[in-house]
Amino acid sequence: MSTLIVALASLLGFVLAYHTYGRWLSRKLFGLTKDNLTPSHQLRDNVDFVPTRRSVIFGHHFTSIAGTGPIVGPALAVFWGWLPALLWVIFGSILIGGVHDLSALVISLRNRGQTIGETAGRLISPRAKILFLIILAAALTIVLAVFGLVIAIVFSLYPEAVLSVWLAMPIAIFIGMWVYLRSGNLLVPSIVGLLLLYAAVYVGAYHLPLDMAQFFDPDNHFWNPNVVWTLILLTYAFAASVLPVWLLLQPRDYINSQQLYIALVLLVVGLGIAAVTGRADLVESAPSISRSIPADAPPMMPFLFITIACGAVSGFHCLVSSGTTSKQVACETDAQAVGYGAMLLEGALAVLVILACCAGVGMGPLVRTVADDGITISRAVGADGAAITGQTAWLQYYGAEDSWKDRTLSQNLKAFVEGGANFISTLNIPLPLAVAIMAVLVASFAATTLDTATRLQRYVIQELGAALSIQPLSNRYVATGVAVSVAATIALAAGSKPGAGGLLLWPLFGAINQLLAGLALMVAFFYLTRRGKPLLIIGLPMVMMMLMPAWAMSYSLVNDWWLNRNWLLIGFAIGILCLQIWMVAEGILLWRSARGVLEPPLPPLSPAKSVLPAKN
């Protein structure tokens, strides 16, 4: 019953937080009102700025911020035990992550949809804007280089997920054209699209797993499946970034969100049944605080706070909030549901990941056999023929003899997919189908983050081009081409094996990502400072999210990268730390003079030109 109690208590906490703390932040601290005209109306062009109903923009925002972050992070952090991970997810998302996301969204809404980096130029200083944009570009480059690999790994491990993930693209385009060109109702096509996607999950699981290894040798140095998938995915990301947001990105995220909600409901119900029947017990399956961790693992403090980012607080979210979401919110009061509510839902997802990677995998590891007549998935048994369960099963995934550094993305993804499939199978859903549902959930989240991150990188490059007077970068095709080309170069040309080059910089991402959160909170701190608002609510999370990533990066720099002469990581780490110190110094020098003094106003607004006629 411990599993069910933890799940219900966590979900109840999130609901209460939304209706109390979230409401106070929205109404009292930021004063959200329906009277303020949002950027989607002010600058409507039906390419990037498109007024969107709350349910649709919520789906886009949630799937974009989630990605595989709340999956990979918690799946790795339970190395230290499930209790520290659980506490950080719950309190982090309520007190820090939700505040961070809502702040970034509101500030962007009140600054014509500018990214949080762009608004830093007026709220803090022009130099702060340049520094922030450089850090944003570095973080997004790593995201693009790695997330293509994450999806490629999922497709390689679970080829049954490929069909459903790719079928979502043409369905999304049809829905986009139906709704925005023909003023059609969203309900019917979304239901039909959802049924088609789940039919594709079934077909992929039993009849048509699309395994790229059938066409490309996995051991080939260059033309291996990971390389091919990475190239295909980055090509798709380019198209998704330059197309009007209503045509592909928005409807795809909407139907994906519906598909993901169903998968999450199945996961929760299956978890409940497994807990009530005694098949899944969190306390019996994994240690609350682990006393047997790999010798090369870093200390839990501060690394827990950068290992689990998405699900507690993540700097990437400020990019989504101020990059794409703020350009689509139709009514300012929707920001509470979209900014704060979506973060709490992501926290709930992270809780489910922790339970799946502990109680779920404790139900037994899965054995996968691929033969000519299809894929067979069954639970593993020991030498005595008895099922492997409990901590014995958990150690199959998290054995103390494993090296922290050698733990791969595929191990973390498998722990969640297979632990979650164990939960879903309690609903009498066959294991192969349960695994396919979970694999599609992971791949869909990652694909949504990939295309959104490409669009965000395009915005950042365009803003950098404007700030540095590099005119060609203001073109969306050129900016997107630069974003995709740099990511492809890192992924394919770096590293010992093409396709995995992004992993060279992956050790930096956790710290850079959390540093972004601290800097975004710093921008929000100055926004409130200039308006004479309470500061502790933003100030304490800001200090924490600046200290923790700097501490973690400095620890790795001294105790790992310097000892191993890893000059690439050393150079990046020193550069990022210097940029952080510079930006903090800018803020300290300005703070006293900024109190109660509003930032310079935006220039007069020129008439917006719409690509399509406005819709009611």
Whether the pLDDT of residue 444 is over 90: the answer is no
Q: Which two tokens stand for residue 89?
A: 């997810």
Whether the pLDDT of residue 612 is over 50: the answer is no
Distance CA 70, CA 273 (A): 23
In this structure, is residue 562 part of a structural domain? yes
Task: Give the pLDDT of residue 614.
Answer: 42
Distance CA 451, CA 258 (A): 18
In this structure, is residue 43 part of a structural domain? no
The average confidence (pLDDT) of the chain is 87
| HEC readout, 241-288 | HHCCCCCCHHHHHHHHHHHHHHHHHHHHHHHHHHHHCCCCCHHHHCCC
Distance CA 339, CA 103 (A): 8
In this structure, is residue 81 part of a structural domain? yes
Helix, strand, coil proportions of the chain in percent (round to 5)? 70, 5, 25
Q: Which two tokens stand for residue 241?
A: 């970034």
Domain that holds residue 288: 2-37+64-594
In this structure, is residue 570 part of a structural domain? yes
Task: Give the pLDDT of residue 611.
Answer: 42
For 439, residues 6+ apart whose C-beta sits below 8 A from its C-beta are 154, 157, 158, 160, 161, 417
Whether the pLDDT of residue 58 is over 90: the answer is yes
Q: Tokens 């369905």, residue?
A: 171
Cα 310 to chain center, whole Å?
A: 6
In this structure, is residue 230 part of a structural domain? yes
In this structure, is residue 297 part of a structural domain? yes
Whether the pLDDT of residue 186 is over 50: the answer is yes
Task: Give the pLDDT of residue 300.
Answer: 92
In this structure, is residue 42 part of a structural domain? no
Whether the pLDDT of residue 352 is over 90: the answer is yes
Task: Give the pLDDT of residue 378.
Answer: 84
In this structure, is residue 44 part of a structural domain? no
Task: Give the pLDDT of residue 137.
Answer: 87
Task: Give the pLDDT of residue 364.
Answer: 87
Whether the pLDDT of residue 312 is over 90: the answer is yes
Residue 374 has φ and ψ, to the nearest 5°, of 130, -170
Within 457-561, strands assigned E span none
133-154 per-position pLDDT tens digit: 888 888 888 888 777 777 888 8
Task: Give the pLDDT of residue 500.
Answer: 61
Q: Are 442 and 409 in contact (CB under 8 A)?
A: no
- Report the range of poorest mean pLDDT among 132-136, 395-399, 608-612: 608-612
Whether the pLDDT of residue 74 is over 50: the answer is yes
Within 254-373, strands assigned E span 366-371
For 340, residues 6+ apart whose C-beta sits below 8 A from its C-beta are 18, 22, 25, 26, 98, 99, 101, 102
Task: Give the pLDDT of residue 608.
Answer: 47
Which pTM does this prediction carry? 0.89
Distance CA 28, CA 101 (A): 17
Distance CA 281, CA 267 (A): 15
Task: Give the pLDDT of residue 206.
Answer: 87
More confident residue, 259 or 98: 98
Number of domains composing the chain? 1
Task: Give the pLDDT of residue 406.
Answer: 66
- Report the range of poorest mean pLDDT among 185-199, 250-264, 499-513: 499-513
Region 167-178 average pLDDT: 88
More confident residue, 515 or 410: 515
Task: Give the pLDDT of residue 502.
Answer: 65
**Local confidence band at 550 (pLDDT 50, 70, 90 cut-offs):** very high
- Report the range of poorest mean pLDDT among 38-47, 447-456, 518-527: 447-456
Task: Give the pLDDT of residue 357.
Answer: 92
Region 603-610 average pLDDT: 63
Region 418-439 average pLDDT: 92
